[in-house]
């Protein structure tokens, strides 16, 4: 919609002056000296005017913006009764930009090219009829990212027979070298793009990826449906279709098998995205989509013998292909439309299914299964989880997403390999440990932030910090002991017997390691928090006595009177602060959590200042879900807030917009292992809500929240029943990779993975298995 250059609402008895300030540009509009006013407008009303109160036109178009570049403007008002309220009342700002309701500033980083028309209204705060307002239409032109390397593969999503062949080509833009390398998840593909399908006895999906030779980070993938000889029964083998992008030519094919050809296709309910058409004769979907969102529809195929079957499908359409992947996920959804799961989830297999890859039908991102009932042949049918001990804050990925670890329901850690291109995973050193399928450790740990081959671990009932180096992928390493927290006179007391320990993590420079210990019992009984600093030794905080001792740093009594036992600990990425969650309060005010500045006696308390909910930590920033706007309990969080460790009483809200009707119970479990030095990269979360009617946006999804502008990206469903008997699979515990390209999460996949007893069927909430899945983030 195009707006007139000015539309003014003039009334009341004061003058409200609205000015737009863009760097050195200044423009005003007014409504003084208007003729032919109605009776209700006979007094001097609201005006948008210059200092002399004379009418002056305002340019319709604001200065141009560019995709991926910061944009700042300021709309200010004078006169009337402060404070003012600014808002967009018609049209929309470019995606990535927001207007501050209190200050009128327009800021952010545009994520989509195009011309965006909108109308801004400003209103003063006078009561009833004395209130004045003004409105004006504007337009912002956003240029595309001219420097981004883009790859387009053709044909897109072809369908071929078992052992068939197809020639692919790739168009590479914005780079002088147009060469690509090809890779296929199954079958074979030549250097020139000729793909030969595998011989199959059941339909399979193969992923073909083209990677730019000049810019290896630029990739494009397409899926191939490999079919077998048609069966006698008519069926639609297409269960999901690839996501689309506004303005980009879309081509996909619906596939029917069996019956008697030729087939006739039709839409029987729902609707295709505007700009897309279905070919009745061959089931092809083609066109240029003009609107983003999630479009649900049902297709019917009828064969020449008048037999017919139907299939429900969802097509997710994003705004742009520019800047796919971290730190801005411009190819994933940011809308607030419901993405309800229709029927059963995508087929990931039952007890067996490692290596299965599907595209989430609502979001288009690829999801792969990396564990199943046979991941450990020595102990079959266990549940597997991303993270450790039910924590979403554990760093389970190495630096380049080629290694990660998972944990089973028996407490074992399984280091695994991962191929970012094919999305395939496997156990480390399977040939050396054939009886259990590979290396497994009775330990907890975290990956190095500097070396992709290094894993740091602590065995549960010891106080030793160990280092594993997996550079040699053929011969298993012998761990190197880095430190024993029971050694020396300034760490754990002499004769200390470990009954419980918790790994707090490692700093981003791999020099500080933090743990909590107990010699009295299990979690919640410990009172010792220790940090080892390479080359310096141990510093120890006794949370029961309030005393800090150690080989380095300050010693003495801490700055808070609280005395308590420990639930868990986590280390800031810069290694300077340790977050301590308390359990039993011995004395003083124990409103935590508490932030200990490692190596000092400084301890800050969050002190009930919106400090509830699940949380994560960056370099210098702590982020938690404080229970707003949907509730105040640990399992009723909605709004994320960020605060500096040194000033915990000064939080700021992160999320800029919530789905209408969001309510408790709703939980967001945070992960921030991709945090950069400035803490500006997105915070990730897997959400939990057992509410199924009405199904709302964000319900049981994987999200990312920008700490800069509050954008929330949506990537995939978690497909959890929300009723699993295992904590991690119930709440879809997950973790973001260090490079921000993948998110691993736990799920019982709506009860379709078999039972922990080995049966192919299970009872939800009693014995259903769970596994670890990885979603590729675009």
Label residue 770 exposed, middle or buried (CB < 10 Å: 0-12, 13-18, 19+): buried
89 Cβ contact partners less than 8 Å away, ≥ 6 residues apart: 119, 120, 121, 135
- What does the mean pLDDT of the chain come to? 84
Query: At 736, phi and psi to the nearest 5?
Result: -80, 145
Report whether pLDDT(635) > 70: no
Strand order through the sheet with 742-747: 357-359, 366-369, 771-776, 742-747, 734-736
CATH, domain range 357-776: 2.130.10.10
Residue 181 predicted with pLDDT over 90: yes
Q: Which residue has the higher pLDDT, 694 or 477?
A: 477
CATH class of 16-143: mainly beta
Region 657-682 average pLDDT: 90
For the segment 486-510, what is each residue's pLDDT rounded down to a tens digit? 876 679 998 899 999 999 999 999 9
Which residues have CB under 8 Å from 493's CB, separation 6+?
none
From residue 200, give the alpha-carbon distance in Å to each of 38, 205, 238, 519.
Answer: 78, 11, 17, 57
pLDDT band at 139 (very low <50, low <70, confident <90, very high): confident
Cα–Cα distance between 242 and 316 in angstroms, integer?
8
pLDDT digits (tens, 9 = 90+) for 216-264: 877 889 999 998 755 568 888 787 787 788 877 787 888 888 887 789 9
* Euclidean distance between CA atoms 251 and 628, whole angstroms: 42
**Which one, of 267, 270, 273, 298, lies nearest residue 288 by Cα?**
273
Q: How far apart are the first and last CA of the chain?
A: 30
* Same fold for the pair 16-143 and 357-776: no
Mean pLDDT confidence for 44-54: 29
* Dihedral over alpha carbons 469, 474, 478, 483 (to 10 degrees): 10
Q: For the purposes of burial, counting CB atoms within 10 Å of the CB of 758, is it exposed (0-12), middle (13-18) or buried (19 or more)?
A: exposed
Burial code (b: 16+ CB inside 10 Å, e: under 16) for 710-725 equals ebbbbbbbbbbbbebb
For residue 361, pLDDT beyond 60? yes
Question: Phi and psi for 272 in degrees, rounded to 5?
Answer: -75, 160
User: What is d(CA 699, CA 659) in angstroms, rounded to the nearest whole number?
Assistant: 10
Selected residue with higher pLDDT from 30 and 729:
729
Query: Quick one: average pLDDT of 633-656?
Result: 80
Q: In degrees, to the nearest 5, what angle opens at C-alpha 299 toward C-alphas 297 and 304?
A: 170
> Residues 647, 706: contact at Cβ < 8 Å?
no
pLDDT of residue 603: 96
- Cβ proximity of 772 and 371 under 8 Å: yes
- Evaluate if residue 776 carries a pLDDT over 80: yes
Contact predicate 593/611, CB 8 Å: yes
**What is the Cα–Cα distance from 623 to 406, expressed in whole angstroms?**
24
Place of tokens 């079919």: 227
Cα(15)–Cα(53) distance, rounded to whole angstroms? 9
pLDDT of residue 578 exceeding 60, the answer is yes
Please tell me whether residue 230 adopts helix, strand or coil conformation. Answer: coil
Q: Provide the CATH topology of domain 150-318.
A: Immunoglobulin-like (2.60.40)
Per-residue model confidence (pLDDT) at position 14: 37
Mean pLDDT confidence for 173-197? 89
Mean pLDDT of the 163-173 span: 87
Q: How far is residue 434's CA from residue 424's CA, in Å, rounded to a whole number?
A: 19
- Bigger pLDDT: 554 vs 69: 554
Average pLDDT over residues 81-98: 88
pLDDT bucket at 15, cuts 50 / 70 / 90: very low
Rg value, the chain, Cα: 29
Instruction: Give the Cα separation of 210 and 153 in Å (integer).
Output: 8
**Which of 85-99, 409-423, 709-723 shows the lowest per-residue confidence on average (mean pLDDT)?**
85-99
Res 597 pLDDT > 90: yes
Structure confidence at residue 17 (pLDDT)? 43
Q: Which pLDDT value is given to residue 726? A: 96
Q: Which DSSP state fits 128?
A: G
Would you state the pLDDT for residue 636?
Answer: 52
Lowest mean pLDDT among 121-130, 648-657, 680-689, 704-713: 121-130
Residue 399 confidence (pLDDT) above 80: yes
Judged by average pLDDT, the poorest of 124-133, 300-309, 624-633, 737-746 is 624-633
Mean pLDDT calculated for residue range 98-106: 89
**Pick from 565, 152, 222, 570: which is nearest to 387 by CA?**
570
Q: Which of 571, 581, 584 is nearest to 544 (CA)?
A: 584
Q: What is the per-residue pLDDT for 379?
A: 95
pLDDT at res. 57: 31
Residues forming a β-bridge with 170: 153
- Interior CA angle at 535 toward 532 and 540, to 5°? 25
Mean pLDDT calculated for residue range 53-72? 62
List, for residues 311-328, the tens digit of each pLDDT value. Answer: 888 887 777 656 678 988
Q: Where are the domains of the chain?
A: 16-143, 150-318, 357-776
Distance CA 313, CA 204 (A): 18
Length of the chain: 778
**441, two tokens:** 């450790």
Q: What are the Cα distances from residue 613, in Å, to 53, 187, 363, 376, 643?
A: 52, 47, 27, 34, 14
List Cα–Cα distances, 595 to 325, 587, 659, 684, 687, in angstroms.
33, 18, 33, 22, 26
pLDDT tens column, 714-772: 999 999 999 999 999 999 999 999 999 999 999 999 999 999 999 999 999 999 999 99
pLDDT at 5: 34
For residue 470, the model assigns a pLDDT of 97
What is each CA distance from 363 to 166, 282, 621, 729, 772, in whole angstroms?
27, 25, 30, 21, 19
> Cα angle at 723 between 721 and 726, to 5 degrees?
110
Percent of the chain with pLDDT strictly greater than 90: 51
User: Phi and psi at residue 728, in whole multiples of 5°?
Assistant: -65, -40
Q: What is the rounded distance in angstroms from the CA atom of residue 12 to the CA atom of residue 696?
A: 41
Task: With a cut of 70, say whether residue 642 has pLDDT above it.
Answer: yes
| Residue 477: predicted pLDDT | 95
> What's residue 24's pLDDT?
27
Tokens of 181: 């390398």
The pLDDT score that the predictor gives to residue 28 is: 29
Please state, as a whole number, how many other Cβ atoms lie within 10 Å of the Cβ of residue 350. Answer: 18
Look at residue 513 in the predicted model and tell me its pLDDT.
Answer: 96
Name the token pair of 458: 């602590």
Q: Which residues, in sequence order, are bridge partners of residue 366?
A: 359
Residue 733 CA to residue 668 CA, distance in Å, equals 10
Check pLDDT > 70 for residue 117: yes
Say if residues 253 and 263 touch (Cβ distance below 8 Å): no
CA distance 217 to 371: 27
Q: What is the pLDDT of residue 630?
A: 63
| pLDDT exceeds cutoff 70 at 58 | no
Q: Which of 629, 17, 695, 761 is nearest to 336 (CA)?
A: 695
- How far apart CA 426 and CA 403 sit, in angstroms, is 10
For residue 56, the model assigns a pLDDT of 31
25 pLDDT higher than 80:
no
166: DSSP letter: E
């Amino acid at each position: 919609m195009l707006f007139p250059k000015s539309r003014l609402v003039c009334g009341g008895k004061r003058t409200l002056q609205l000015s737009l300030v863009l760097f050195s540009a200044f423009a005003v509009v007014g409504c003084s000296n208007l003729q032919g006013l109605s009776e209700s407008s006979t007094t001097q009303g609201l005006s948008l005017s210059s200092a002399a109160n004379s009418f002056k036109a305002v340019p319709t178009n604001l200065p141009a913006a560019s995709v991926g570049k910061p944009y700042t403007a300021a709309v200010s008002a004078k006169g009337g009764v402060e404070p003012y309220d600014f808002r967009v009342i018609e049209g929309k700002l470019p995606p990535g930009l927001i207007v501050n309701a209190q200050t009128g500033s327009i800021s952010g980083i545009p994520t989509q090219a195009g011309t965006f028309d909108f109308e801004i209204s400003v209103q003063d705060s006078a009561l009833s009829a004395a209130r004045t307002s003004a409105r004006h239409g504007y337009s912002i032109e956003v240029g595309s990212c001219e420097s981004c390397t883009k790859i387009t593969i053709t044909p897109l999503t072809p369908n071929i027979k078992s052992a068939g062949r197809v020639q692919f080509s790739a168009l590479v833009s914005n780079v002088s070298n147009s060469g690509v390398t090809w890779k296929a998840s199954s079958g074979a593909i030549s250097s020139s793009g000729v793909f030969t399908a595998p011989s199959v006895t059941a339909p399979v999906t193969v992923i073909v990826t083209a990677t730019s030779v000049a810019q290896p980070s630029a990739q494009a993938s397409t899926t191939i449906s490999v079919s077998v000889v048609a069966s006698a029964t008519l069926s639609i083998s297409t269960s999901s279709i690839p996501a689309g992008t506004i303005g980009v030519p879309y081509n996909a094919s619906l596939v029917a098998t069996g019956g008697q050809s030729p087939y006739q296709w039709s839409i029987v309910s729902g609707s295709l995205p505007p700009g897309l058409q279905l070919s009745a004769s061959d089931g092809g979907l083609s066109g240029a989509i003009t609107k983003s969102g999630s479009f649900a529809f049902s297709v019917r195929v009828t064969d020449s013998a008048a037999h017919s079957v139907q299939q429900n499908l969802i097509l997710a359409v994003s705004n742009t292909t520019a800047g796919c992947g971290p730190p801005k996920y411009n190819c994933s959804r940011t809308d607030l439309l419901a993405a309800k799961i229709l029927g059963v989830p995508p087929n990931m297999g039952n007890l067996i299914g490692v290596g299965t890859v599907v595209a989430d039908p609502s979001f288009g991102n690829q999801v792969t299964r990396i564990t199943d009932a046979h991941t450990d042949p020595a102990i079959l049918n266990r549940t597997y989880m991303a993270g450790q001990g039910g924590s979403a804050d554990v760093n389970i990925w190495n630096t380049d997403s080629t290694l990660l670890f998972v944990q089973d329901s028996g407490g074992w850690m399984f280091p695994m390999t991962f191929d970012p291109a094919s999305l395939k995973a496997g156990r480390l050193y399977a040939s050396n440990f054939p009886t259990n399928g590979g290396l497994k450790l009775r330990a907890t740990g975290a990956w190095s932030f500097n070396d992709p081959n290094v894993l740091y671990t602590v065995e549960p009932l010891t106080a030793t910090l160990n280092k594993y180096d997996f550079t040699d992928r053929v011969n298993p390493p012998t761990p190197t002991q880095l430190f024993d927290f029971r050694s020396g006179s300034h760490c754990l007391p002499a004769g200390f017997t470990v009954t419980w320990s918790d790994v707090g993590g490692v700093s981003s420079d791999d020099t500080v390691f933090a743990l909590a210990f107990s010699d009295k019992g299990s979690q919640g009984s410990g009172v010792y928090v220790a940090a080892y600093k390479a080359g310096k030794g141990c510093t120890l905080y006794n949370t029961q006595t309030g005393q800090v001792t150690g080989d380095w740093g300050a010693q003495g009594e801490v700055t808070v009177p609280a005395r308590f036992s420990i639930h868990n600990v986590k280390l800031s990425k810069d290694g300077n602060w340790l977050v301590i969650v308390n359990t039993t309060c011995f004395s003083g005010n124990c409103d935590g959590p508490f932030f200990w500045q490692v190596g000092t006696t400084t301890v800050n308390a969050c002190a009930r200042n919106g400090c509830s909910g699940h949380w994560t930590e960056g370099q210098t920033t702590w982020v938690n879900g404080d229970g707003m706007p949907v509730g105040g309990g640990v399992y009723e969080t909605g709004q994320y807030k960020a605060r500096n460790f040194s000033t915990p009483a000064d939080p700021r809200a992160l999320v800029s917009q919530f789905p209408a009707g969001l309510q408790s119970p709703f939980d967001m479990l945070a992960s921030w292992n991709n945090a950069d030095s400035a803490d500006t990269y997105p915070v990730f979360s897997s959400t939990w809500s057992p509410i199924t009617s009405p199904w709302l946006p964000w319900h049981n999804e994987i999200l990312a929240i920008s700490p800069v502008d509050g954008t929330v990206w949506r990537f995939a469903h978690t497909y959890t029943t929300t009723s699993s008997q295992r904590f991690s699979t119930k709440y879809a515990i997950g973790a973001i990779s260090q490079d921000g390209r993948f998110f691993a999460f736990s799920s019982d996949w709506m009860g379709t993975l078999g039972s922990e007893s080995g049966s192919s069927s299970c009872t939800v909430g009693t014995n259903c298995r769970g596994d670890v899945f990885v979603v590729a983030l675009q």
